[in-house]
Amino acid sequence: MKRVIFNQKGGVGKSTIAVNLASIAAHQGKKTLLIDMDPQCNSSRYLLGEAAKQIAPTLANYFEQTLNFVIYPKPASSYVHATRFENLSVIPSHPEIGELQSKLESRHKIYKLRDALKELAKDYDEIILDTPPAYNFFTQSALIAADCCLIPFDCDDFSRQALYTLMNNVGEIKADHNPALTIEGIVVNQFQPRASLPQRMVNELIAEGLPVLDSKLSSSIRIRESHEQCLPMIHLDARHKLSQEFLALYQELQPV
C-alpha cells in the first residue's frame, strides 16, 4: 500500500499525520517506510531528530542521480535509513530538493518516483509519502506513484476553497497518469466538536458529496511535545485521546 498525504495548503497536519500513521503501522508490525518529499524536512526531523540535518543520502540524492546518466544506478533501497522505532524506516528529505525541481521538470523525470516505489514496495507493507505544501513536481510525482491519497483538512474557509482546487488536481492526475489512484478521504484535523462552525462546515462538505472520513483528529498541545521530543504520539502517550484518534483513523483506512 502506497499512500500519499496531500493538501497544497501548509499547516493542515500533513507531516503530523504522515508520521503518526506510519508509526502506528510500524507498531502493529507492518514494515513501514516514510518518504519525506518536503524541502522543509519536517517529518524527517520528527522521526530522526537532530540527526536529520546531517543524514545522507537523502531523497535529493535519489533525484540527482536521475539527472546524471549512470550505467548502474544505486537501488532505491540505498536511500533508506532505519529509525529508532522498530519496523519504521525513512527516506529523508533535504533542503536542496527544492533547487532540483526545475531541472527535474524540464528533463521529464515525473515517473522516477513511481519507478522507485515499485522497487521499494517489494520490501514494505506500507509506504507513506509526506508532501510539500504546493501542487508541484514533487506532489505530482507522489500522486502518480501512489495507490491512494489521504487529504488532511482544517476547518477554515481558505482551506475549503483550496479543497475544491485540490480535488480537481487529484482528479486530473488520476485521469492522465494514474487511473488506479483512489481518494481515501478527507480527514478533519484540529476538529473542535463543541464549536458550531466546524461541524456546520463538515456537514456541508458531506452534503456536497465530499468523502469526509468519520475519524476526526482533535487539537492537542501534546502534539507540540511529540514534535519537540521527536516521539510520535503512540510512543509519547499511547492512551492520549489524540493517539486513540490516530489509531481509529488508521483502522478506518484499512481495506475491508
Ligand X SMILES: Nc1ncnc2c1ncn2[C@@H]1O[C@H](COP(=O)(O)OP(=O)(O)O)[C@@H](O)[C@H]1O
- List residues near Mg ion by CB under 5 A: 14-15, 42
Contact pick of 16, 44, 66, 243 for ligand X (by CB under 6 A):
16
**Binding residues with ligand X: total (CB under 6 A):** 17
Nearest-angstrom CA–CA distance, 249 and 47: 20
Give the containing element (helix H, strand E) for 28: none
If the CB atoms of residues 125 and 237 are measured against ligand X, the closer one turns out to be 237
Contact pick of 20, 32, 42, 141 for ligand X (by CB under 6 A):
42
* CB neighbourhood size of 99 (10 A): 11
> Is 133 near ligand X (CB under 6 A)?
yes
> Is 37 near ligand X (CB under 6 A)?
no
Nine-digit cell string for 229: 521530543
Residue 224 touches which of Mg ion, ligand X, none (CB < 5 to 8 A by kind)? ligand X
> Is 165 near ligand X (CB under 6 A)?
no
- Minimum CB–partner distance for residue 42 and ligand X (Å): 5
Positive or negative torsion for Cα 158, 94, 97, 127: negative
| Sequence-ordered list of residues with C-beta below 8 angstroms from that of 139, at least 6 positions apart, any chain | 4, 6, 8, 37, 131, 132
Residues forming beta bridges with residue 82, ordered by sequence position: 89
Phi/psi of residue 32, each to 5°? -125, 140
Contact pick of 12, 48, 163, 187 for ligand X (by CB under 6 A):
12
> Is 8 near ligand X (CB under 6 A)?
no
Per CB under 6 A, residues contacting ligand X are: 10-16, 42, 133, 189-190, 217, 219-220, 223-224, 227
